[in-house]
């Protein structure tokens, strides 16, 4: 599965660093990219190892609640 935040206004450099650290520790994250400049991030994950609700909690815990993301894709 792939989750892409196309517009994440809460994505500051500090939040991006916390998010990256969190994603590094989560089993099931296959790859990710984060851009503070464009306020976008992309996470590819194995949904059999990492349910989306757990991923969403991790994103929120990093300082970027899912509700604050104004545009995203999930495929």
Tens-digit pLDDT string for the chain (75 aa) = 999 999 999 999 999 999 999 999 999 999 999 999 999 999 999 999 999 999 999 999 999 999 999 999 999
Range of the domain at 66: 2-74
Task: Report the alpha-carbon angle 14-26-57, nearest 5.
Answer: 65
- Cβ atoms of 53 and 74 closer than 8 Å: no
CATH number at residue 18: 3.30.70.100
Task: Look at residue 58 in the predicted model and tell me its pLDDT.
Answer: 97
The C-alpha atoms of residue 26 and residue 68 are separated, in whole angstroms, by: 22
In total, how many domains does the chain have? 1
**pLDDT at residue 60, rounded to an integer:** 97
């Amino acid at each position: 599965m792939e989750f892409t935040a196309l517009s994440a206004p809460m994505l500051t450099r500090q939040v991006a660093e916390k998010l990256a650290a969190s994603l590094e520790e989560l089993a099931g994250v296959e790859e990710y990219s984060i851009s503070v400049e464009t306020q976008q991030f992309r996470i590819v994950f194995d949904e059999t190892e990492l349910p989306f609700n757990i991923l969403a909690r991790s994103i929120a815990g990093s300082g970027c609640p899912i509700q604050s993301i104004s545009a995203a894709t999930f495929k």
